[in-house]
Amino acid sequence: MRRGSVYLFLTLLITGLNFWTPPLSAQSATNEDLELVLVLSGGGARGAAHIGVLRVLEEMQIVPDLIVGTSMGSVVGGLYCAGWSPDEIEELLISIDWNRIFTDQAPRSDLSYRRKQDDRPFLIDARLHFNEEGFYIPPGVLGGQSLEILLQTLEARSMPESDFDQLPVPFRAVATDMEKGEPVVLDSGSLALAMRTSMSIPGLFPPVINDGRTLVDGGSVANLPVGIAISLGAKRIIAVDISSPLNSSGKKLENFWEVFNRMNSLLTVNNRTVDVSRLRQDDLLIRPDLGDIGFMDFDRATETVAIGEETARAAADQLKTFVASEPDWQTYIASQRRSPSDTIRVDRVRLDHVGPFKNSSAKYAWQLKPPLDLEPEDLRRNIMRLFHLRHSGIISFHVDEVDGLYELAIETPPPPYGKHSFQIGLGFFDDFDGNSEYSISARHQMLPANRMNGEWMTIFEIGSSPRLYSEFYQP
């Protein structure tokens, strides 16, 4: 995406959402039992600081009755509420290959033979797609399949309740309704879907369609959801703000991520300021000084966690007023700790063919035979094989216990970009002995071409050896 396009898109987004304050009446009903609510803001990789704060809160035996999180705050908060310890969440963030999460690419060895053939004359995987409405423009720079796999794998390792009030620690995730520009509080359903919805940053990830609503990252309207916590009935609040501050140093913005980080700060600064002003005398704001740690600096997770921990320790005197009694603490920590399983039990697999996916294709891609204890990496590779057949959109999955057996249900929706794609390629050959060739190629591909996932491909090539080639392939 060109830099000018990035500026234009995010500027329009700021104009539409940043200067609107969400009415508290739009939120859920109050709860008189919420003595303490922990509010975790969004901020991308800076959200690792939440882990350090949680560690100190545990050391001081502070018991939150509810955690409300936005964007990365919803991921850290959601995992903690599902039973993960701060140490386990930190280990997870450090171990994740974030470059892979943000690319949706698969090793060539994991591609089917047909998709490997696609690479031969067109080494750069850049396609123009067409559907019934015309030229398809993706709703996000990043596809989101790898992020979907990551979050749903974490959910499958935890097997959380679908009612977020029944989690070890009650939880709420905050998203934004794109059509109404209002906050949406997610309190039930798939925990993975709630976390992904809350961090579906506009322009970066595709929005999530949930109950007919188009939802994106909650930071657009409530990056530090203090107002939402109050509307839910919070008597006292600990709010952790790790948002990127506005940088007025005059530094030149030289790449996409610097532009994005700056625009993200502009997008959230107004609603964050309003929410900070809502904090009351008995509430506490913790704001780690994360310096130049950026929105995408996941490789600095260890450093970020340490800063969050250091900041929370510096606020120990204020935190002492939130300490629970010893019996209440023992009851809390015994209930909260539900360490995730290292593997995922799968007794059988069910493919839900929402789109044109057929068993002939799925059998090739799915290479694991249940029953087995599935390693997360094996699950990821198999889902990516299905995805890179290019027969479906973003694939989702979940594990259900049915009649005492664990069933892995995989949903393969139709691709949003339609059946038709178009590519252009350039080729040049020279043997340094006076012989050279060149070519300009164009390829049209129709996939699927029928209900059985047939493929129709036509290549037109001009240059040293002009040709017109068309083939139909039926798996």
Mean pLDDT of 30-38: 80
What's the CA gap between 267 and 203, in Å, rounded?
A: 13
What confidence tier does 134 reach under pLDDT thresholds 50, 70, 90? Answer: confident
Residue type at 399?
A: V
Statement to judge: residues 234 and 363 lie in one domain: no
Q: Residue 346: what pLDDT? A: 93
| Mean pLDDT for the stretch of residues 306-332 | 97
**Does the pLDDT value for residue 16 go beyond 50?**
no
Last residue of one domain, picked from the residues 355, 386, 411: 411
Q: Which residues contact 292 (CB under 8 A, 6 or more apart)?
A: none
Confidence of residue 104 (pLDDT cuts 50, 70, 90): confident
Say if 99 falls within a structural domain: yes
Position 102 pLDDT exceeds 60: yes
Residue 249 reports pLDDT greater than 50: yes
- What confidence score (pLDDT) does residue 319 get? 98
The pLDDT assigned to 314 comes to 98
384 and 279 in a common domain: no
Domain at 375, CATH number: 3.10.20.310
pLDDT bucket at 136, cuts 50 / 70 / 90: confident
Q: Is residue 26 situated within a structural domain?
A: no
Among 40-44, 100-104, 418-422, the least confident range? 100-104
Number of structural domains found in the chain: 2
Position 189 confidence tier, pLDDT thresholds 50, 70, 90: very high
Residue 364: predicted pLDDT: 57
pLDDT class for 20, splitting at 50, 70, 90?
A: very low
d(CA 449, CA 443): 15
| End residue of a domain, out of 335, 355, 389 | 335
The DSSP line for 170-213 is: -EEEEEEETTTTEEEEE-BS-HHHHHHHHT--TBTS--EEETTE
pLDDT in tens, 396-409: 999 988 888 999 99
* Domain's final residue, options 411, 434, 458: 411
12 is a domain residue: no
Looking up tokens 């009935």 gives: 233
Same-domain check for residues 299 and 382: no
13 pLDDT higher than 70: no
Average pLDDT on 87-99 reads: 94
Residues 326 and 369 in one domain: no
pLDDT of 12 > 50? The answer is no
Bridge partner list, 283:
none
179 contacts 213 by C-beta, under 8 angstroms: yes
CATH number reported for the structural domain that contains residue 264 in this entry = 3.40.1090.10
Residue 11 clears pLDDT 60, i.e. is over it: no
- 194 found inside a domain: yes
What is the rounded distance in angstroms from the CA atom of residue 3 to the CA atom of residue 213? 30
Query: Cα-flanking dihedrals φ and ψ of residue 242, to 5°?
Result: -115, 20
Residues 284 and 152 in one domain: yes
> What integer pLDDT is reported at residue 232 of this predicted model?
96
Residue 119 lies inside a defined structural domain of this protein: no
Same domain, 330 and 187: yes
pTM of the model: 0.84
- Is 319 in the same domain as 397? no
Q: Which domain holds residue 179?
A: 36-104+142-248+256-335
- 3-state DSSP assignment of residue 392: coil
Confidence band for 151, pLDDT divided at 50, 70 and 90: very high
Q: Are residues 71 and 183 in the same domain?
A: yes
Structural domain includes residue 453: no
The answer to whether residue 184 is domain-embedded is yes
Q: Is residue 240 part of a domain?
A: yes
Domain identity same for 286 and 162: yes
CA distances from 267 to 8, 13, 242 (A): 13, 8, 14
Measured in degrees and rounded to the nearest 5, phi and psi for residue 74 equal -75, -30
Are 59 and 182 in a shared domain? yes
**Poorest-confidence range of 88-102, 269-283, 355-369?**
355-369
Q: What pLDDT score does 10 carry? A: 40
The Cα 202–Cα 209 span in angstroms is 13
pLDDT band of 415, cuts 50, 70, 90:
confident
In the predicted structure, residue 317 carries a pLDDT above the cut 90: yes
Contact present, 113 and 99 (Cβ < 8 Å): no
Predicted local distance difference test score (pLDDT) of residue 133: 80
Does the structure show a pLDDT above 90 at 116? no
Evaluate if residue 24 carries a pLDDT over 90.
no
The residue that leads in pLDDT, 454 or 354, is 454
- Rg of the Cα atoms in the chain: 24
Is 234 found in the same domain as 156? yes
Query: Could you report the per-residue pLDDT of 229-246, keeping only the tens digit for each?
Result: 999 999 999 999 998 776
Q: How far apart are CA 320 and CA 312, in angstroms?
A: 11
What residues form DSSP beta bridges with 203? Answer: 140
Percentage of residues of the chain with pLDDT beyond 70: 84
Give me the pLDDT at residue 418, please: 83
Residue 18 has φ and ψ, to the nearest 5°, of: -65, -30
Which pLDDT tens digit goes with each residue over 190-241? Answer: 999 999 999 998 878 889 988 889 999 999 899 999 999 999 999 999 999 9
Does the pLDDT value for residue 27 go beyond 70?
no
Residue 259 has pLDDT above 80, yes or no: no
Residue 295, pLDDT above cutoff 50 = yes
- 272 vs 83 pLDDT, higher one: 83
Are residue 201 and residue 228 in the same domain, yes or no? yes
Write the secondary structure of the chain as one string of H (helix), E (strand) and C (coil): CCHHHHHHHHHHHHHHHCCCCCCHHHCCCCCCCCCEEEEECCCHHHHHHHHHHHHHHHHCCECCCEEEEECHHHHHHHHHHCCCCHHHHHHHHHHCCHHHHCCCCCCHHHCCHHHHHHHCCCCCCCCEEEECCEECCCCECCCCHHHHHHHHHHHHHHCCCCEHHHCCCCEEEEEEECCCCEEEEECECCHHHHHHHHCCCCECCCCEEECCEEEEECHHHHCCCHHHHHHCCCCEEEEECCCCCCCCCCCCCCCHHHHHHHHHHHHHHHHHHHHHHCCCCCCEEECCCCCCCCCCCHHHHHHHHHHHHHHHHHCHHHHHHHECCHHHHHHHHHHHCCCCCCCEEECEEEEECCCCCCHHHHHHHCCCCCCEEECHHHHHHHHHHHHCCCCCCCCEEEEEEECCEEEEEEECCCCCCCCEEEEEEEEEEECCCCCEEEEEEEEEEECCCCCCCCEEEEEEEEECCCEEEEEEECC
